[in-house]
Chains A and B, each alone.
Chain A
Amino acid sequence: MTLLDRHGFRPDSFRRIPAAEMAGHPAVILPGAELTAGLLVRGLGQWIGIDIANTIPAEEVAQLANQVDLIAIAFPGFADGRGFTLGRRLRRAGFRGILRAVGPLIPDQFAYALACGFDEVELPDAVAARQGEAAWLADLAIYRQSYQRDYARGENILDARRLARGGGAA
Chain B
Amino acid sequence: MYRYDEFDTAFVRDRVAQFSTQVERRLSGALTEDEFKPLRLQNGVYLQLHAYMLRIAIPYGTLSARQLRQLALIGERFDRGYGHFTTRQNLQFNWIQLKDVPEILSLLADVEMHAIQTSGNCIRNVTADQFAGVAADEIEDPRPVAELIRQWSTAHPEFSFLPRKFKIAVTGADDDRAAVAVHDIGLRIVRHPETGETGETGFAVLVGGGLGRTPMVGKWVRDFLPKPHLLAYLEALMRVYNAEGRRDNKYKARVKILVHEIGIEAFRDRVEAEFVQLDPARIQADAEEVARIARYFAPPAYADLADNPSALRRARAANGEFDRWVAQNGFPHKVPGYQAVTLSLKGIGEAPGDITSAGMRLVADLAVRHSQGEIRVTHAQNLVLPDVRQDELFDLWQALAAGGPATANAGLITDIIACPGLDYCALATARSIPIAQALSTRFAAPERQQEIGPLAIKISGCINACGHHHVGHIGILGLEKRGEESYQITLGGDAGNDSAIGEILGPGLGASEVPDAIERLVETYLDQRQPGETFVNTVRRIGVQPFKTAFARELHHDAA
For residue B181, give the distance in angstroms from its CB to the closest CB of chain A.
27
Interface segment among B25-33, B301-309, B489-497: the answer is B25-33
A115 at the interface (CB under 8 A from B): yes
Interface residues in B, total, Cβ within 8 A: 47
* A31→B159 CA distance, assembly (Å): 28
Interface segment among A9-17, A34-42, A78-86: the answer is A78-86
A47 at the interface (CB under 8 A from B): no
Q: A92-B277, A108-B39, A158-B286 are in contact. List 12 more A-B contacts (CB 8 A).
A: A81-B242, A85-B239, A88-B158, A112-B160, A115-B158, A142-B14, A143-B11, A147-B156, A158-B289, A160-B7, A162-B289, A170-B282
A149–B157 contact, CB under 8 A? no
B22 surroundings in chain A (CB, below 8 A):
108
A150 at the interface (CB under 8 A from B): yes
Chain A's closest residue to B284 (CB) is A149
Assuming the A-B contacts A158-B286, A162-B288, are A81 and B35 also in contact, with contact meaning beta carbons closer than 8 angstroms in the complex?
no
Chain A's closest residue to B239 (CB) is A85
A112–B25 contact, CB under 8 A? no
B243–A144 contact, CB under 8 A? no
Chain B's closest residue to A158 (CB) is B285
For residue B447, give the distance in angstroms from its CB to the closest CB of chain A.
52
**B residues in contact (CB < 8 Å) with A:** 5, 7-8, 10-11, 14-15, 17-18, 21-22, 25, 29-32, 35, 38-39, 121, 151-152, 154-162, 239, 242-243, 247, 273-274, 277, 279, 281-283, 285-286, 288-289, 292
Residue with the highest number of chain A CB atoms closer than 10 Å, among B15, B29, B242, B279 = B242
B155–A146 contact, CB under 8 A? yes
A157 at the interface (CB under 8 A from B): yes
B14 surroundings in chain A (CB, below 8 A):
142-144
Assuming the A-B contacts A81-B161, A88-B239, A112-B157, are A170 and B281 also in contact, with contact meaning beta carbons closer than 8 angstroms in the complex?
yes
Interface residues in A, total, Cβ within 8 A: 43
Assuming the A-B contacts A84-B161, A111-B157, A153-B157, are A145 and B288 also in contact, with contact meaning beta carbons closer than 8 angstroms in the complex?
no
A160 surroundings in chain B (CB, below 8 A):
7
7 A-B contacts (beta carbon < 8 Å): A58-B273, A81-B160, A112-B158, A130-B29, A144-B14, A145-B7, A150-B279
Chain B's closest residue to A78 (CB) is B35
For residue A160, give the distance in angstroms from its CB to the closest CB of chain B.
6
A98 at the interface (CB under 8 A from B): no
Chain B's closest residue to A165 (CB) is B288
Assuming the A-B contacts A151-B157, A153-B157, are A131 and B31 also in contact, with contact meaning beta carbons closer than 8 angstroms in the complex?
yes
B8 surroundings in chain A (CB, below 8 A):
157
**A residues in contact (CB < 8 Å) with B:** 58, 78-82, 84-86, 88-89, 92, 106, 108-109, 111-113, 115-116, 130-131, 135, 138, 142-151, 153, 157-158, 160-162, 165, 167, 170
Residue with the highest number of chain B CB atoms closer than 10 Å, among A92, A113, A148, A170 = A148
Assuming the A-B contacts A81-B159, A170-B281, are A145 and B17 also in contact, with contact meaning beta carbons closer than 8 angstroms in the complex?
no
The answer, among A138, A145, A167, for a CB contact under 8 Å with B21, is A138
A115–B10 contact, CB under 8 A? no
A148–B31 contact, CB under 8 A? no
A138 surroundings in chain B (CB, below 8 A):
21
B30–A135 contact, CB under 8 A? yes
The answer, among A78, A142, A158, A162, for a CB contact under 8 Å with B161, is A78
* A113→B279 CA distance, assembly (Å): 21
For residue A136, give the distance in angstroms from its CB to the closest CB of chain B.
11
A115 surroundings in chain B (CB, below 8 A):
157-158
